[in-house]
């Protein structure tokens, strides 16, 4: 495969990742709703530890485990914020600030 083929593959993988992240966000919204209705805390460190262990066990590389955990730390932070908001709108996702916009990488 040439670089254009690899980029097409990455574009398709990104599409699938967005679908899966959106599905995960919908699940997080529902969990947030249940937590609010039962007065459970949004942040559960033990649950996060279990998630980190699970993804590291599933990891077959080449992504190092520590980098995978960093990615999941960010995903879970975003999901907690979604739970706090109680809802996800398409407009929020389309207009959200990225790390590049916010200067995180600068």
In tens, the pLDDT along 29-55 reads 999 999 989 999 989 999 999 999 999
For the ranges 50-54, 65-69, 80-84, the lowest mean pLDDT is seen at 80-84
Across 53-63, average pLDDT? 96
Count the Cβ atoms, other than its own, within 10 Å of residue 56. 14
Q: 36 Cβ partners below 8 Å, 6+ apart?
A: 86
- Measured CA to CA, the distance from residue 8 to residue 55 in angstroms comes to 26
Q: Is the pLDDT of residue 62 over 50?
A: yes
- State how far Cα 17 lies from the chain centre: 9
**Domain 3-86 class in CATH:** mainly alpha
Across 76-98, average pLDDT? 69
pLDDT for 58: 96
pTM: 0.75
Domain locations in the chain? 3-86
Task: Categorize the per-residue pLDDT at 85 as very low, low, confident or very high, splitting at 50, 70 and 90.
Answer: confident
Q: Which of 81, 74, 54 is CA-nearest to residue 65? A: 54
């Amino acid at each position: 495969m040439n670089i254009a083929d690899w980029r097409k593959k990455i574009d398709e993988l990104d599409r699938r990742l967005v679908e899966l992240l959106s599905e995960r966000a919908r699940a997080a919204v529902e969990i947030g709703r249940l937590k609010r209705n039962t007065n459970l805390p949004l942040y559960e460190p033990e649950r996060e530890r279990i998630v980190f262990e699970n993804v590291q066990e599933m990891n077959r590389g080449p992504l190092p485990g520590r980098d995978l955990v960093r990615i999941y730390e960010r995903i879970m932070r975003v999901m907690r914020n979604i739970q706090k908001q109680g809802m996800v709108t398409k407009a929020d996702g389309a207009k959200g600030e990225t790390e590049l916009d916010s200067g995180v990488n600068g």
